[in-house]
Amino acid sequence: MDNVLKSAEMRKSVGKSLLYTLPMFLITFIFMTGGKPNFSDPSATLALVITFGLVNILYFMMHFTGRTDRYRAVLFIIFALSLSFTLIRNMLEMRHSMSFSQADLLECKIPFCHLVIPMMILPAAFTKSIIFPGSIINGFASISSMVVLWLVATIVLGRGFCSWGCFYGGWDDGFSRIKKRPVLRKINDLWRWMPFAVLLMVALTAAMTLMPTYCSWICPFKAVTEFEQITSVESVAKAGVFLSLFGGLVVVLPVITRKRTQCSFLCPMGALNTLSNKVTPFTVKIDKKVCTECFKCVDICPLFAISREDVKKGDISLFCSKCGKCVDGCSKKAIHFGIKGIPAGSMKNFSRNLFLFVSFLFLAVFSSGPIMNTLHNLFKLIF
């Protein structure tokens, strides 16, 4: 069993870090190659090598430096960018446009994303059907596979899905790191309950209209993926809403506040994942024996998951996405990844190692597809 380290450092030696990276090395190799490595295409092989190298180097660095967030964020942001690139490229190739047409809707060819899930639940229960024009089982981003992926990830990671799985979160995570200091500091605590209000509204409106209303009207990421063809006043209004929300909540506000404002103030999926934080075995704990109540973690947290009251109680709220920013930022190393049932301050290394393996493995494998695809297409363009 691990005890509280005297220096409270998570760093490991090169040898030990390599040892911890080895299982990740092997598993990611198998998953990325599908168990059947094929090196016939040079650009695909190069893409595979770079992606494989990237994820394992980042994982190695997490162990070697003892820091989590900055390395997680690198992969998380690259994931978001590469997914948008992959989607946009596919659409331009197939349809010569970023917009989907009436025909795509009628033929149920719209790729599914996990943000639809909160709106699906009530109609699925009452009408026994899915209110989305996508594919149930076949094709890219089928409904069944995305729901299974999300379900398992959210049970295992809880709201950690928002920092280790969501392929949109990297956008506002990235923009929130641009400025060194926030311009806007004081934000009313009431706003962090907004995603729940949005969840309530979109769930109800989707149930009543049998239409995924969040996707139709207020998803900011339509600006960087695909949206309805502009053929009417309504579709112009929708495009305006998407662009405004993306500009405001994903770009401008994260830059000036250094917070992930889209995730904190709008995303209904974040609200749903917050509830699953009750189920996950992993958590973030505050060791009250070491904590000096400097409240630096309150300012650092990008998702408003820690308040001064939380620090005083030694308890981090359900909003925590386990991104590791507070863990890295605490000068006394009083905050650490933990496992439920293990007291705060105990078995820090063990808890961190186990959590990192689980969460990073998910992120690495989930993101590898879009990243390899993006690199492959870039190399085909260049060479």
Partner 1 sequence: MTDSLILGLSSGSACLATCGMVMFPYLMSGSAGVKRIALDLSLFLLTRFIVYFLLATAAWYFGQGLFSNQIVRNIVPGILYVVFAVLLVWYSLSKSRKPDCPAKIVKTVNNRRLVPVLLGVVNSLGFCPALLLILTKGATQLTLVQSYLAFLAFFIGSSLWFLPLPLAGRVKKKEVLKNIGILATGLAGIIFMIKGLTNIIGGIING
Partner 2 sequence: MKKIKLIAGICWAFAALILIVVLFPALNGLSASFSKLPFMKLNPRYTGGEVVTRTVESACTLDIRKPVFTGFFKERKSGFVQVDWRGTLPEIINDSIDYDHDGRKDFRIIINRKESKSNLVALKTNVKDISVSTPTSYGWAVRVNLNK
State how far Cα 341 lies from the chain centre: 26
CA pair distance 114, 142, nearest whole angstrom: 11
Task: Report d(CA 226, CA 222) in Å as an integer.
Answer: 5
The sign of the torsion formed by the CA atoms of 151, 153, 155, 160 equals negative
Residue 132 touches partner 2, criterion: CB under 8 A? yes
List the interface residues with partner 2, window 147-176 (CB under 8 A): 147-149, 152-153, 155-156
Phi, psi of 77 (to 5 degrees): -70, -45
Does residue 376 contact residue 85 with C-beta atoms inside 8 Å?
Answer: no
- Asked if residue 325 lies in contact with residue 316, where contact means CB atoms within 8 angstroms, the answer is no
Q: Whose CA is closest to 367, among 41, 32, 24, 29?
A: 32
- Token pair, residue 24, equals 């990740």
Q: Closer to partner 2 by CB, 311 or 361: give it.
A: 361
Cβ closest to partner 2, residue 182 vs residue 314 = 314
| Residues 292-311 contacting partner 2, CB under 8 A | none
In angstroms, what is the minimal distance from the CB of 251 to partner 1? 21
Amino acid, single-letter form, for residue 90: N
Task: Please return the burial class of 183, using the count of CB atoms within 10 Å of its CB with bins 0-12, 13-18 and 19+.
Answer: exposed
Site string for partner 2, 342-381 (x = CB under 8 A): xx-------x--xx-xx--xx--x----------------
What is the pattern of x (binds partner 2, CB under 8 A) and - over residues 252-281?
----------------------------xx
Q: Which of residues 308-367 bind partner 1 (CB under 8 A)?
A: none
Task: Give least dist CB 55 to partner 1, A.
Answer: 38
SS3 131: coil
Coil, helix or strand at residue 9: coil
- C-alpha distances (whole Å) from 224 to each of 165, 242, 246 are 18, 9, 9
Q: Which amino acid is at 19?
A: L
Q: Nearest CA to 159 among 271, 2, 22? A: 271
- Say whether residue 291 binds partner 2 (CB under 8 A): no
Residue of 8, 108, 201, 298 interacting with partner 2 (CB under 8 A): 108
Give the contact letters, 187-216, x = binds to partner 1 (CB under 8 A), - = no: ---xx-xx-xxx-xx--xx--xx-------
17 vs 28, beta carbon nearer partner 2: 28
**Residue 339 vs 378, nearer CB to partner 2:** 339
39 contact choice in partner 1, partner 2, none (CB below 5 to 8 Å, kind-dependent): none
Binding site for partner 2 (CB under 8 A): 27, 31, 101-103, 105-108, 122-134, 136-137, 142-145, 147-149, 152-153, 155-156, 207-208, 210-211, 280-282, 339-343, 351, 354-355, 357-358, 361-362, 365
Binding site for partner 1 (CB under 8 A): 190-191, 193-194, 196-198, 200-201, 204-205, 208-209, 233
